[in-house]
Amino acid sequence: MRRFVPALLVALLASVPLWLSDPYILNAFITTGVFTIAAMSLNLLLGYTGQLSLGHVAFFGIGAYVSALTSLGFDVELFEGFHVVHDPWPVVYGFILGTVFAGLCGYLVGKLSFRVRGAYFVIVTISFAEVVRLVALNWVELTQGPLALTNIPPFTLGLPGLGYATLYGKIGNYYLVLVVGVIAYVVIKHLVQSHIGRAMIALKENESLAVSVGINVTRYLVLAAVVSAAIAGASGSLYAHYLRIIDPDIFLFLYTVTMVIMVITGGKGTLAGPVVGGAIFGAIPVIVRSFAAPEVQWILYGAFMMVIIFVLPHGIVPALERWFAPTTPKPERIAPQPSASAE
Amino acid sequence: MSRSRVLAGAAILAVLTGTAVAQESIKIGVNEPLTGPFAASGTYVVNGARIAADEINGKGGILGKKIELVIEDNKSNPTEAAAVTEKLVTRDKVPVIMGAWGSSLTLASMPKLMEYQVPMLVETSSSGKITTSGNPYIFRISPPSSVEAAAFKPMVPKMTIKKVDFLVINNDWGRGAAEDFGKMLKSENIQVGLVETMDQSAQDMSAQLAKIKASDADTLMVTTAVEQLTLVLKQAAALGMKKQIITTGGSQNPDQLIAQAGTAANGTIHLATFAPWQPDSTPNPEAAKYFIGEWKKRGFDFPGVTESFRGYDGIRTIAAAIQKAGKPEPEAIRAAFWTVDVKGLNGDIKFQKQGPAGKESGQSVPNVYLIKIDDGKVVVPTM
Amino acid sequence: MSEFLQHIANTLILGGTYALLGIGLTLIFGIMRVVNFTHGELYTFGAYFVFLVVSVLGLNFLLALPVAIAAGLLLGAVIEFLLLRPMRDSDIDTTMLVMIGAMIVMQNSEQLIWGGVAKSVSTPFPETPLVIGPVSVSYLRVFVLAMALLLIAATYILINRTKLGKAMRATFQDRDTASLMGVNVQAIYTATFAIGSSLAAAGGALLGPAYVISPHMGDIASLKAFAIVILGGLGNITGATLGGFILALAEELGAGYVSSGYRDAMGFLIIIAVLLIKPTGLFARAERIG
C-alpha cells in the first residue's frame, strides 16, 4: 500500500489545475513547489550525510543567475580589451547550464568545505553564500548588480528544429515544476537507495567506523554535494523564469531558512520529508496572511516552527511512519544519540 | 496526501475570508513592505494612504462609492511582492494597485501587471528600469535619480562645488544616483572623485569615510535612507570631516536627522521632494496643511511625513484616475491615468510618456527642494 | 599616511566592538555546541533596553548599562531553560532551527513593540570628536572600546580564574567526564548561555547609542559574530578577541584600499581561507568540534 502513496500523490497533484482555477493559490503551489525541490536537494546533504549547509541558497541563486544570463545574453569585459560576449540562447539551455554550473560549484564547495564538520561546516557554507551574494551585487557589468536582471524570458520547452513552446501561464509552469520535482525525487530516491546512499548513511551515523571499513568519506560527500547543488540550481532556474526578475535578494538568508525548515519539520533523511514540510510551510504564509497582522504572521511562523520541533523532533514523516507501522523497525533511522553529530 | 489536504484547507480558508468584503466599495490594492528591513518606510506610506482614503470617503467617496484599501505586506522580499500582486489582482479583484516601495519589489511585481493587465501606481521606487522597460501599466509619481539630478542642475552654479565624492547605498537607488548626478555634475564642469558604496545593512561606514576624508574633493554627496544617513553624518563628524555634505533620494527625513544625529546634522544640505516645514510655500498649501494636521492628529511622529506624503498623493492620484475613468475597471483606469492632473503635495501630478514607443510607462515630474539644516533647524536657503 | 593612521584608529574602535560580539557567541558555541541565532536579537534587546531606560524612563546612560547587562543575563537564562534544555540531546541542526524560530519571534516582537522606525539614545559624551594629530575619533566610541576591553578581561578572568570558569572549561573539554566529576552540567549550560547573552546585550547597550536602534540591527551583528568565532576557534576567548580585531582590520583596509563594495566580503573570504589552511581557526587549541 505504502509504495503507491507517491504515485497517488503525483496523480493528485497532476489533477490540481483541473479543479483549482484560483491563480493566487496556483501561484502559491508553484513557488512552494520550487522551494520544495530546493529543500529535497538540501535533504540529500542534511538528511543523508548529516552535513548542514546553511548556504544552500547560493546554489539556488547560481542556478537562477546562470540560467537567466544564458537566456538574456551578456557582454563582459574580463580584462582590458578582452570581451566575453554571449548572445541569448533558448531557455532550455539556460536550465541545463544552470543545473550543470550549480553542480560544478557544488563540487568545488564540497571539495573545500568537507574538510570541516559540524558547526564549522555551517559557518563556511553561510560564508560561501554571502560571498556569492556580494559578487552578484558588485559585478554589475555581468549581473546588473542591484539593478536586477529584468525581462527574463519565460520557460520555453523544445529543441532546435522541433519548435518551441513558451510557458507564459500558470498551468504550464505548474506542470513544469511538478515534472522537475518528480525527476528530482526519483534521482534522489535512486541515489540514496543505491550502495552510494548506504555509504552516506553509514557515514552520517558513525564517520570513524565508516572510514575504518574503507568508505572514501570525501568522495561520497562531494558526490552528494554535486547532486544536491545541481538540483538546487535547477530549482533556481525554474524560479528565475517563473518570477522573471532576479536580483541579489535571491540570496536572502531567509530562503535558506525556508529550505531547512521544510526539511527538518518534514523529517530529514526521509524521502517524503521535504515534500510534507514544503507543503506545510508553503501553506502557512498563505493561511496566516488572511487573518494576522504582518508582524504577528512572522511570530506565528516562528512559533509554529519551534512547536513542531518540540513535539516531533524528528519531523512529521518519521512520526507518521511510527504511527502507521509501530512494530516495523525503520532501517534508515537509528535512535538518537546524545550529540551524535558533535563528537 | 497531506500536502494537498493542507493546501486545499488553505484554499477554502482563503476563499472564505476573501469574499467577506462588501461589494459596494471600490477596492485599491496596496503592496508595501510592513515587515523586514523596509518596514518603517512601508508603514509610513500605508499610513499616508489611509489618510487619503479617509479624506476621500469623508467627502462621499468616488463615483458614489466608498474606496477601500486592501493592504498587503510584501515582507521586503521580491518573491512575496510578486505573490502579493497576484493575490490583490486575482483574489481581491482590485482594479488598480499602489506599490511596492523598493525597486526590486516593484520590478518583481511588474510581470504580473502585464499578465493580468492591471495598472500600478509606483509611489517610491527610483530605479530607471521601472519606466523604461516597456511596461504600459506603470505610472510613477516619485522621481528617478535622473529627474532629481536634472532638477538640481540649475542650483549647482549658485553653490560652491568644485569636486564631488559619492557615498551611496549599494543598491539600484544609490548606484543610480551616483551615475545620474555624476553625469550632471560633469556637464557643469565639476569633477567627480571617489564613488564609494555601503551595504544596505551596514552600520559602520568609517572606513569609507576615512578614505573620503583624505580625498581632495570639497563636497560629499550621500544617497541612502534616513537610518543609514544618520550613521554617516555621525561618523563623518567623529572623523572631523569638514566637507560640504549634500544628500539626495527623498528618504532623508531631516527632522529625524536633527533628532538623532544632533550637531552632526548641522550644515548639511538635502534635496527633498516635500517640504512640510513651511506648508504655506508648498505647491498645494491647503492639502499640505490638511495632511500634516491629520498626520499629527493620528499620533504619528512628524518626521514621517516626508515619506508618507507619497502614499497620500498616490491614493489621491488613483482616486482621480478612477473618477475620470468613470468605472473601477483596470483598462479604463490605465487610460485615465494619462489624463489626470492632480494637485499633489509636491506639485502637479501629470504623467509623461517614458520608455519604448507603443508601450510607454507614465512618469510624473515632482518638484525638488534644496533645504539646509542650520543649528538644529530646517531652513530653505535663498538663492 | 594620515588616512592610514585613521584606518588603524578605526580598526581599534571597531575591533573592540567585534571582539565583544564574538566572545559571547564563542562561549555558547564552544561549550554548548549551539549555533546561537538569537545572539543578534540579544544584542538588539540590549540596545532597546537602554533606549527604554534612558529615553522612556529618563535615567542616565551610564546607569542603564549595568541594568541592560543584567536583563540580558536574565533573558539568556530564560531562553536556555525554556528552549535549549529540552533540546539537549538533539542534533546540532534541530537545535539551530529552534534558535532560528526564536530569532524570528524575537525580531518581529521587537518590531511589534517599538515599530520599525529607528530610535536613538543620547549619552553624556560630547559630540565633538577627540582629535589626536591626524586621527579623529568620537568620545563615545573610545568609551565603548574601553568598556569592551573591560568586559572581555572580566570574561577572561571568569573563565580562567574562577571555580565556575573551571567547571565551564571542563564541560567544554568533555561533558561526560565533567559530569562524572560532579560538575552540574545543566547549571553550567544555563550559566554559559546567560553569560554569553549578557555579553551580547552589553554589545547592544554600548553600540545602540553609537549607531541607531532598529529591529534589524542584530542581523549584521550575528553575521559578524559568526565570522569572528570561526576565525578565533570555537570556545576560544583570546581567539575571538584577536579575531574581532583582524576582521575589523580586513574590513578597514579592504574598504580603504580595495573596494567598498567588497568590504563585507573580506571577513567571509578570510574565513574561507582560514578554514582551508587551518580548519580549527587561527588560534585554536587542540579541541575541535565534530
What is the CA B135 to chain-centroid distance, rounded? 19
Asked if the Cβ–Cβ distance from C136 to B43 is below 8 Å, we say no
Determine, yes or no, domain membership for A194. Answer: yes
CA distances from C121 to B239, C49, C148 (A): 20, 11, 19
Pick from B140, B38, B63, B59: which is nearest to B97 by CA? B140
Q: What is the DSSP pairing of strand B219-223 with strand B244-248?
A: parallel
Q: How far from each other are the two terminal CA atoms of chain C, in whole angstroms? A: 45
Which of B4, B10, B129 is closest, CB to CB, to A287? B10
Q: Where are chain C's structural domains? A: 2-216
Cell numbers placing A161:
528544429
CA atoms of C6 and B214, how far apart (whole Å): 10
User: Do B2-143+287-363 and B147-272 have matching folds?
Assistant: yes
Mean pLDDT of the residues in chain B: 87
CA atoms of C270 and A234, how far apart (whole Å): 30
Adjacent-strand bridge partners of B205: none
**Beta-strand (E) ranges in C134-247?**
135-137
CA atoms of A113 and A228, how far apart (whole Å): 15
Determine, yes or no, domain membership for A56. Answer: yes
Q: How far from each other are the two terminal CA atoms of chain A, in whole angstroms? A: 39
Contact present, C118 and C213 (Cβ < 8 Å): yes
Contact present, C267 and C227 (Cβ < 8 Å): yes
- Site from C96, C268, C276 to mutate, A interface, most A CB atoms within 10 angstroms: C268
Cell numbers placing B210:
576615512
Per-residue pLDDT tens, chain A, 343 aa: give them: 566 777 888 888 888 787 887 888 888 889 899 999 999 999 988 888 777 888 899 999 999 999 999 988 877 777 777 777 777 888 888 889 999 999 999 998 888 777 777 777 777 788 888 888 888 888 877 887 777 787 788 887 765 565 566 666 778 888 888 989 999 999 988 888 887 777 777 777 777 777 777 777 778 788 888 999 999 999 999 999 888 888 888 888 888 888 888 898 888 888 888 999 998 888 888 888 878 888 888 898 889 888 888 888 888 888 888 877 655 444 444 444 444 333 3
Residue listed under C-alpha cell 559619492: B166
Contact present, B111 and B86 (Cβ < 8 Å): no
* B vs C: CB pairs below 8 A: 107
Pick from A24, A246, A28, A252: which is nearest to A151 by CA? A246
**Secondary-structure percent of chain B, ordered helix, strand, coil, rounded to 5:** 45, 20, 35
Q: Where are chain B's structural domains? A: 2-143+287-363, 147-272
Pick from B15, B31, B93, B37: which is nearest to A286 by CA? B15
Q: Does C8 touch chain B (CB under 8 A)?
A: no
pLDDT at B341: 92
The amino acid sitting at C107 is: Q
- Chains touching chain B through at least 3 C-beta pairs below 8 angstroms are A, C
Question: Between residues 197 and 216 of chain B, which touch chain A (CB distance below 8 Å)?
Answer: 197
Contact present, C262 and B199 (Cβ < 8 Å): no
Q: Decide which of C43 and A284 is more confident.
A: C43
B198 vs C contacts (CB less than 8 Å): 260, 263
Closest residue in B to C265 (Cα–Cα): B199
Cell numbers placing B275:
517640504
Q: Does B201 touch chain C (CB under 8 A)?
A: yes
- Site from C81, C98, C247 to mutate, A interface, most A CB atoms within 10 angstroms: C98
Adjacent-strand bridge partners of A74: A86
Residue B144 to chain A, least CA–CA distance (Å):
13
B336: Cβ contacts below 8 Å, ≥ 6 apart: B321, B322, B323, B324, B325
B361 vs A contacts (CB less than 8 Å): none
Q: Does A292 touch chain C (CB under 8 A)?
A: no
Asked if the Cβ–Cβ distance from A342 to C262 is below 8 Å, we say no
pLDDT at B16 over 60: no
B212 vs C contacts (CB less than 8 Å): none
| 3-state SS class at A302 | helix
Give me the phi and psi of B349, to 5 degrees please.
-100, 105
CA atoms of A277 and A265, how far apart (whole Å): 6
Asked if the Cβ–Cβ distance from C2 to B230 is below 8 Å, we say no
pLDDT at B2: 44
Pick from C97, C48, C111: which is nearest to C75 by CA? C48
pLDDT at C287 over 50: no
Q: Does B259 touch chain C (CB under 8 A)?
A: yes
Architecture of the domain delimited by B2-143+287-363: 3-Layer(aba) Sandwich (3.40)
Burial tier of A189 (Cβ tally within 10 Å: 0-12, 13-18, 19+): middle
Cell numbers placing B49:
494612504
pLDDT at B10 over 60: no
CA atoms of B183 and B187, how far apart (whole Å): 6
Burial tier of A323 (Cβ tally within 10 Å: 0-12, 13-18, 19+): exposed
Q: Does C110 touch chain B (CB under 8 A)?
A: no
Average pLDDT value for residue range B65-81? 89
CA atoms of B30 and B48, how far apart (whole Å): 12
Residues B169-224 pLDDT 10s: 988 888 889 999 999 999 999 999 999 999 888 888 988 999 999 899 999 999 98
Which of A23, A147, A250 is closest, CB to CB, to B175? A147
Average pLDDT value for residue range B295-319? 90
Residue C38 to chain B, least CA–CA distance (Å):
17
pLDDT at A158: 62
pLDDT at C212 over 50: yes
Mean pLDDT of the residues in chain C: 86
Query: Is the peptide bond between B236 and the residue preceding it cis, with omega within 30 degrees of 0?
Result: no
A199: Cβ contacts below 8 Å, ≥ 6 apart: A210, A215, A220
Residue C158 to chain B, least CA–CA distance (Å):
30
Pick from C130, C162, C134: which is nearest to C145 by CA? C130
Q: Does C258 touch chain A (CB under 8 A)?
A: no
A264 vs C contacts (CB less than 8 Å): 93-94, 97
Residue A269 to chain B, least CA–CA distance (Å):
18
**Beta-strand (E) ranges in B86-162?**
97-99, 120-122, 138-140
B87 vs A contacts (CB less than 8 Å): 24, 27, 289
- Chains touching chain A through at least 3 C-beta pairs below 8 angstroms are B, C
Counting the structural domains of chain A, the total is 1
Annotate C139-177 with b (16+ C-beta within 10 A) or e (fewer).
bbbbbbbebbeebbeebeebbeeeeebebbbbbbeebee
A257 vs C contacts (CB less than 8 Å): 100
Pick from A156, A158, A153: which is nearest to A172 by CA? A156
Average pLDDT value for residue range C251-257? 87
CA atoms of B132 and B138, how far apart (whole Å): 10
Give me the phi and psi of C241, to 5 degrees please.
-65, -50
Q: What is the DSSP pairing of strand B163-169 with strand B191-198?
A: parallel
φ/ψ region of C60 (left if φ > 0, alpha if ψ in -120 to 50, else beta) reads: beta
- In the DSSP assignment, the letter for residue A249 is G
pLDDT category at B120 given cuts 50, 70, 90 is very high
| 3-state SS class at C212 | coil
Q: Tally DSSP H helices, then E strands, for chain B.
A: 13, 16
CA atoms of A210 and A204, how far apart (whole Å): 9
Asked if the Cβ–Cβ distance from C94 to A120 is below 8 Å, we say no
Contact present, B283 and B274 (Cβ < 8 Å): no
- The count of C-alpha atoms lying within 13 angstroms of the C-alpha of A319, restricted to the half-sphere facing its C-beta, is 15
Determine, yes or no, domain membership for A269. Answer: no
Contact present, A28 and A254 (Cβ < 8 Å): no
Q: Does C14 touch chain B (CB under 8 A)?
A: yes
Average pLDDT value for residue range B298-325? 91
B116: Cβ contacts below 8 Å, ≥ 6 apart: B86, B89, B90, B330
pLDDT at A332: 47
Cell numbers placing A89:
540562447
pLDDT at A338: 41
- The count of C-alpha atoms lying within 13 angstroms of the C-alpha of A58, restricted to the half-sphere facing its C-beta, is 24
Average pLDDT value for residue range B74-97? 89
pLDDT at C175: 80
Asked if the Cβ–Cβ distance from B4 to A289 is below 8 Å, we say no
CA A130-A135-A138 angle, to 5 degrees, is 120
Asked if the Cβ–Cβ distance from B203 to C6 is below 8 Å, we say no
- Domain range for A32 is 22-252
Start-end of H helices in B117-218? 129-132, 145-152, 172-187, 206-213
CA atoms of C226 and C246, how far apart (whole Å): 14
φ/ψ region of B287 (left if φ > 0, alpha if ψ in -120 to 50, else beta) reads: alpha
CA atoms of C231 and C242, how far apart (whole Å): 9
C210 vs B contacts (CB less than 8 Å): 234
CA distances from C136 to B206, B209, B241, C7, C130 (A): 11, 12, 9, 10, 6
CA distances from B302 to A104, B306, C6 (A): 54, 9, 37
pLDDT at A21: 79
Residues C116-148 pLDDT 10s: 788 888 888 887 888 888 888 889 889 999 999
CATH number for the domain formed by residue range(s) B147-272: 3.40.50.2300
Residue listed under C-alpha cell 567585534: C18
Q: Does C127 touch chain B (CB under 8 A)?
A: yes
Determine, yes or no, domain membership for A342. Answer: no
Q: Does B90 touch chain A (CB under 8 A)?
A: yes
How many residues are there in chain B? 383
Contact present, B158 and B150 (Cβ < 8 Å): no
Determine, yes or no, domain membership for A298. Answer: no
Q: Does A138 touch chain C (CB under 8 A)?
A: yes
pLDDT at C191: 93
* A vs B: CB pairs below 8 A: 132
